Amino acid sequence: MLRSLSVALLCAASAFPLSAQRPPDTVFLEDLTWDEVRDLQRAGKTTIIIGTAGQEQKGPHMVMGEHKYVLTHTTEQIARALGDALVAPIITYVPEGSWENPRGHMAMAGTITLPEDRFRELLTHSAKSLKAGGFKHIILIGDSGGNQNGMRDVATALNAEWGGAARVTFAGDYYTKAGEDMRKYLMGKGFTAEAIGNHAGMLDTSELMAVNPKHVRRDKLANAGGGPGSGVSGDPTKATPEIGKALLKIKIDNALAQIRAARASSQEN
């Protein structure tokens, strides 16, 4: 009886080979096997997003991976909206200043920096690896300011080198234009420039509340982080998840508009 049952189960299993299983509903490269990536490319997913996010202090009330958590959310939404894109593992080693004379973020425990030239090398080799693996369109998106120039210059250099065999789009509007738009949005809601701040204030805190609220230490929320030396500019006590959702949409919409415009331009040329 047991032998007959075993034979029946084996026959049933052979009727549904593992190769027939669908890949998981994910756009993240690290969640897929290599052959699943290959099959998705054959089905048209030949765009890959490389996101860069700093590992830097975010005041007493937020974890240092804030940029990574936000970028994980936004790049997923961008990839799904494009329909033909996957997302590479997010790069968290970016230029943050010098370790020889630590100032700014580097003066606080846990911040990690990468020299500008090494950051550009990392981006270049990441892009070349993905091109070699079959991707035709590489999109660079950064969630912090120190990453922007390096991504722009790497995109320019690779496009010149590849001569159209593959292309790189630096979606700088995700950060620069969206930053301006987000401030206009908040000031239109009656918030002052002082309350909005420049780092770890309303913007960053609201975004993290929206995508990963467990990483906000609500008992440590304080205007200007509680005083000098906190690493906070602005008033994070005014942050809300609802504001965060609106700000994230501004970032996503700006990136999508720029990427789609770049695609339309390349098709015309």
Cα 230 from Cα 95, distance rounded (Å): 21
Residue 20: its pLDDT value, please? 59
Architecture of domain 25-260: 3-Layer(aba) Sandwich (3.40)
Among residues 186, 228, 226, 190, the alpha carbon closest in space to that of 61 is found at 226
Cα 33 from Cα 248, distance rounded (Å): 30
Strands 47-52 and 137-142: parallel
Cα 59 from Cα 192, distance rounded (Å): 20
φ/ψ of residue 210, rounded to 5? -75, -35
Cα 42 from Cα 260, distance rounded (Å): 21
* Sites in the chain below the pLDDT cut of 70: 1-20, 97, 106, 268-269
Task: Mention every residue, 6+ apart, whose C-beta is less than 8 A from residue 232.
Answer: 59, 60, 61, 197, 199, 200, 201, 222, 224, 225, 226
Cα 13 from Cα 32, distance rounded (Å): 23
Q: Distance from first CA to last CA of the chain, Å, rounded?
A: 70
Residue spans of the domains in the chain: they are: 25-260
Enter the DSSP assignment of 109. Answer: T
Report in angstroms the alpha-carbon separations of 151 from 34, 138, 214.
26, 11, 31
Residue 15: its pLDDT value, please? 46
Report in angstroms the alpha-carbon separations of 266 from 49, 84, 93, 269.
18, 16, 31, 5
pLDDT digits (tens, 9 = 90+) for 148-163: 999 999 999 999 999 9
Rounded to 5°, the CA angle 263-264-268 comes to 115
Helices H / strands E in the chain, number of each: 9, 4
- Is pTM beyond 0.85? Reply is yes
- Is 208 within 8 Å of 178 (Cβ atoms)? no
Cα 147 from Cα 94, distance rounded (Å): 6
Burial class (CB in 10 A: 0-12, 13-18, 19+), 9: exposed
